[in-house]
Amino acid sequence: MEVIIKKDQSTASVYAARLLADVVKVKPHAVLGLATGSTPLGLYRELVRMHREEGLDFSRVTTFNLDEYVGVAPTHPVSYHRFMNENLFDHINVPSSQVHVPDGLAEDLPGHCRAYEEAIRNAGGIDIQVLGIGSDGHIAFNEPSSSLGSRTRTKMLTEETRKDNARFFDRLEDVPHHAITMGVGTILESARCLMLAFGGNKAGALAAAVEGPVTSMVPASALQLHPRVQVIADEPAAARLALKAYYQQALARREETGR
């Protein structure tokens, strides 16, 4: 696990966008795993800028989003499908036929989840998965106690997660209780993971995920088992990392020598 600490969220987001853009440049038909929420917004803005100003081409990529609320239509103001359209897909040249977001209105939710897994396999697997981390250490909607081998499924949200997401709704009562989410096992099958963590409210969760034991109570800690993970954090999120100085020295050394 490579931990990269940048001074602020904006700088970290641009750095992350360049890493993802490099994947697309090397492999134009790359399969991208994408996240929603406030954490990846800066990354998406930079990708849009690179598409418009530098010609970054998304015409051959395929995308899979991590999750979606159950019972929420794709056109609903708080749906993750709409979020992705407004913040990324409407501004780049990815064909809509190559975009995949879980369907919160699927009549057969278990069948839909199995089909989503199959679609990822048929696409050749995810080349790079973008992740955020919840204040309780969850990734996607894999809440604490989630199986580290779990697959795409429906998951009941904790009250902490619902409260964290209430800012996107008129009232807490409007936040759905369930979501479709890629499982931890699904995420770990990605060839590469890029986890972003911004803000002091993520400091405890990030420290537990990076430096604590691997445990289902901190689902993000399962990334310690993955062979290629890059964690990109701003200074506030990195504040509780015991080896913060080491991570900074290692990054400086890599940038200086290329190793």
Q: What is the pLDDT of residue 120?
A: 98
Among this protein's residues, is 143 annotated catalytic?
yes
**In this model, does residue 128 exceed pLDDT 80?**
yes
Residue by residue, DSSP assigns 19-33 as: HHHHHHHH-TT-EEE
Q: Which residue has the higher pLDDT, 164 or 64?
A: 64
pTM: 0.94
Residue-wise pLDDT tens digits, 67-101 = 999 999 999 989 999 999 999 999 999 999 999 99
Q: What is the pLDDT of residue 6?
A: 97
Confidence of residue 254 (pLDDT cuts 50, 70, 90): confident
Alpha carbons 160 and 94: distance in angstroms, whole number: 34
Q: What is the pLDDT of residue 86?
A: 97
Out of 117, 138, 164, 234, the active site residue is: 138
Q: Are strands 128-131 and 193-197 parallel, antiparallel or unpaired?
A: parallel
In the numeric block, the tokens 């360049």 are attached to 18
Cβ density class 17-27: b for 16+ within 10 Å, e for less: bebbbebbeee
Residue 13 and residue 45 in contact, taking contact as beta carbons nearer than 8 Å? yes
126 φ/ψ angles, rounded to the nearest 5 degrees:
-85, 125
Q: What is the pLDDT of residue 89?
A: 98
Residue-wise pLDDT tens digits, 169-206 = 888 988 899 999 999 999 999 999 999 999 999 999 99
Out of 46, 117, 127, 143, the active site residue is: 143
Ranges 5-9, 124-128, 254-258: which has the least confidence: 254-258
Residue 16 and residue 196 in contact, taking contact as beta carbons nearer than 8 Å? yes
Among this protein's residues, is 138 annotated catalytic?
yes
Q: What is the pLDDT of residue 171?
A: 87
Out of 46, 103, 136, 234, the active site residue is: 136
Element (H, E) at 226: none
Out of 46, 51, 67, 103, the active site residue is: 67
**In this model, does residue 211 exceed pLDDT 90?**
yes
The domains of the chain, with CATH numbers, are 2-257 (3.40.50.1360)
